[in-house]
Structure 1
Amino acid sequence: MRARAALASAAVLLLLAGGCAGAMYKVGDLDAWGVPPPSKPDVYKSWAKSVHFALGDSIWFLYPPSQDSVLQVTPEAFAACDLANPVLKLADGNSVFNLTTPGRAYYTSGAPGHCRKGQKLWVDVPMANGTYLQPSASDLAALAPTPAAEAPEGFLQASAPAGAHPSAAELRAVAGAGSVVAAVALALLL
């Protein structure tokens, strides 16, 4: 009887362990991680919005290692397209990042100039119970428009990136307004 109970317990543990393994998503569902084509400048933003990530999932970047790399960066580095001090750099052409921490994770190309051309991605990872963390001030600033690579000094793009949550666009608009009215509106949204 004990052997049968132990066998049943082992089978349940195997099923649970198999169910806990996360999904792996190929970034952008594209052939390779690269500068978005002019016909699809928001390919990475759109893709990230279409996927409902969970703790334990992985994202997979495929690219020619002699031409690119992937950097996990801070919100500030993401906003500025600053490649100098990444949190993590992978350059093997077949890079997998495990989503093990709830919150927002930021990635960009390690090739000079590619980030400003739109080769960057952010993903929201919910907590184990499925709820999302509130975006921090750094997160909101990171999603502000990035100046285009060929834009004149001081020129900013007019369009903001699409958010993963219905209120994210409102939060970005309020955070970017820089006024007392915006601060009050932000407090009301939260």
Structure 2
Amino acid sequence: MRMRARAALASSPVLLLLLLLVGGCAGAVYKVGDLDAWGVPPPSKPDVYKRWAKSIHFALGDSIWFLYPPSQDSVLQLAPEAFASCDLSRPVARLADGNSFFNLTAPGRAYYASGAPGHCRKGQKLWVDVPMANGTYLQPSATDLAALAPTPAADPPAGTASAPEGASASPAPRAAAAGSVVALCFALQILL
């Protein structure tokens, strides 16, 4: 059936272009947490995201997909220092559509956390290591190593820097555009 669908698509110039686009969508898409949606980890699985990230060998061009209720959460890409302290005030990128994709386009470590108040400190955060094109990993910097220190469990006292509830930083254009391309590639791969 797929072969007939591809033959039919190839007869249309627009659909042929879409078929060629799918060929450029070689990276894998990984749903963060697998069966667990993006949310505060339950007490029975406090390290669900750490275990999930360690179970996957990411590659350049792969994407990670965060699925969550958009009215209740968001995903922030953070700098290492902000990740370590759960400082959500200046994210690198913020997506809040409930179906967020981030492309892994650079080797090294990438950091993500929930944008909902208090969730990062409750363990709703994730870091992934992306190898270079030759499959080797970059040596973690001192900042990267410090970012992996345990996060203080309590929320900071009133008056300290954290993102106010409902605050919205504009996502980096690359993250938003990358999410659209990944979603299109993902949909086309399913159809074809």
- TM-score (structure 2 length as normaliser): 0.68
Query: Structure 1: how far apart are the matches of 2:25 and 2:43?
Result: 39
User: 2:139 matched to 1:124?
Assistant: no
Query: Structure 1: how far apart are the matches of 2:59 and 2:36?
Result: 24
* Unaligned stretches of 5+ residues in structure 1: 1-13, 153-190
Alpha-carbon spacing, 1:150–1:78, altered in 2? closer, same or farther (3 Å): closer
Query: Structure 2: how far apart are the matches of 1:19 and 1:39?
Result: 40
* Unaligned stretches of 5+ residues in structure 2: 1-18, 158-192
User: 2:64 matched to 1:64?
Assistant: no
Q: What residue is the counterpart of 1:186 in the other structure?
A: none
Give identity over the alignment, percent.
88
Instruction: Pick one of 149, 168, 178 that aligns with 1:144.
Output: 149
After superposition, residues 69-108 of structure 1 pair within 5 angstroms as: 69-108=74-113
Q: What residue is the counterpart of 1:182 in the other structure?
A: none
Q: What residue is the counterpart of 2:116 in the other structure?
A: 111
Q: CA RMSD in A?
A: 2.1
CA-to-aligned-CA distance 1:101-126 (integer Å, 9 cap, x gap): 00000000000100000000000000
Q: What residue is the counterpart of 1:34 in the other structure?
A: 39
User: 2:120 matched to 1:133?
Assistant: no
Aligned-pair CA distance for 1:32: 1.6
User: 2:22 matched to 1:50?
Assistant: no
Aligned-pair CA distance for 1:20: 6.4
CA-to-aligned-CA distance 1:12-66 (integer Å, 9 cap, x gap): xx99x83761000000103420000000000000000000000000000000000
Bigger Rg, structure 1 or 2: 1
How many aligned residue pairs are there?
138
Query: Structure 2: how far apart are the matches of 1:73 and 1:121?
Result: 10
CA-to-aligned-CA distance 1:76-109 (integer Å, 9 cap, x gap): 0000000000000000000000000000000000
Larger RCO: 1 or 2 (CA < 8 Å, sep 6+):
2
